[in-house]
């Protein structure tokens, strides 16, 4: 199944779109981040300034929510990014991207997010689309979930534009958005989608 989600643009470097968690759905705006491996959204009990302006995940309001642990028995974690830090508990719940691409996903509901940069960002959370070595453990990688649970395959593609019509497609690519034939390159570092470039 192929799904296209409209994205927004910030200074032509960050792209985000809509998704939901839970039953009934709780909507979030997330940045699509190929440099991280976890889905992270603010938790309902996060009352620090970094969470204040954002929508928050309420596990008690979802009939499909469950607290989970990874294979190491951990039920929470702290993650440091280049620009900030988050910590929170692990949950599994129904994730939907658009209306037709839905599956159960494990993620972090953050009860702490540093003021910088999270208070100023125009999106609620982070959807990590990196490899599973960047994830909190087995079952926490959205790319793997897309392939194994959602039937979308492990292919996703971005169309980026200076206008407001940028988009991400899960499960393939839109032929009408490409200007030439696709050139496939092997991934050399399976963490950040790094490919080799010869000069």
Reported as a single tens digit per residue, the pLDDT across 113-167 is: 999 999 999 999 999 999 989 999 888 998 888 888 666 667 888 888 777 678 8
Query: Does residue 195 have a pLDDT over 70?
Result: yes
Tell me the C-alpha distance between 45 and 172, whole Å.
37
pLDDT, tens digit (0-9, with 9 covering 90-100), for 160-190: 877 767 888 888 889 999 889 998 899 898 8
Token output for 3: 């799904």
Q: What are phi and psi of 147, to 5 degrees?
A: -75, -45
Banded model confidence at residue 71, pLDDT cuts 50, 70, 90: very high
β-strand partners of 80: 85
Q: With contact defined as beta carbons under 8 Å apart, do 90 and 75 qualify?
A: yes
β-strand partners of 89: 76, 109
What does the pLDDT read at residue 55?
Answer: 97
- Count of residues in the chain: 199
What does the pLDDT read at residue 24?
Answer: 97
What does the pLDDT read at residue 168?
Answer: 86
Give the CA angle between residues 48, 51, 52 to the nearest 5°. Answer: 80
Query: Does residue 38 have a pLDDT over 70?
Result: yes
Tokens 């985000």 -> residue: 16
What does the pLDDT read at residue 16?
Answer: 85
Token output for 92: 């599994």
Torsional sign, CA 146, 150, 153, 158 = negative
Give the CA angle between residues 75, 150, 145 to the nearest 5°. Answer: 35
What is the pTM for the complete model shown?
A: 0.88
Tell me the C-alpha distance between 102 and 183, whole Å.
30
């Amino acid at each position: 199944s192929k799904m296209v989600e409209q994205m927004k643009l910030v200074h032509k470097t960050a792209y985000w779109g809509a998704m939901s968690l839970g039953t009934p759905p709780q909507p979030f705006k997330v940045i699509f981040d190929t440099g991280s491996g976890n889905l992270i959204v603010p938790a309902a009990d996060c009352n620090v300034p970094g969470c204040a302006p954002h929508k928050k995940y309420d596990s008690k309001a979802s009939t499909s929510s469950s607290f989970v642990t990874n294979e190491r028995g951990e039920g929470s974690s702290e993650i440091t990014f280049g620009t900030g830090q988050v910590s929170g508990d692990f949950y599994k719940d129904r994730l939907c991207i658009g209306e037709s691409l839905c599956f159960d996903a494990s993620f972090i509901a953050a009860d702490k997010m540093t003021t910088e940069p999270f208070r100023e960002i125009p999106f609620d959370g982070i959807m990590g689309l990196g490899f599973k070595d960047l994830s909190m453990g087995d079952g926490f990688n959205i790319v793997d979930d897309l392939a194994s649970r959602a039937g979308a395959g492990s292919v996703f593609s971005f169309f980026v534009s200076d206008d407001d019509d940028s988009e991400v497609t899960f499960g393939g690519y839109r032929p009408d958005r490409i200007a030439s034939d696709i050139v496939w390159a092997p991934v050399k570092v399976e963490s950040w989608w790094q490919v080799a470039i010869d000069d």
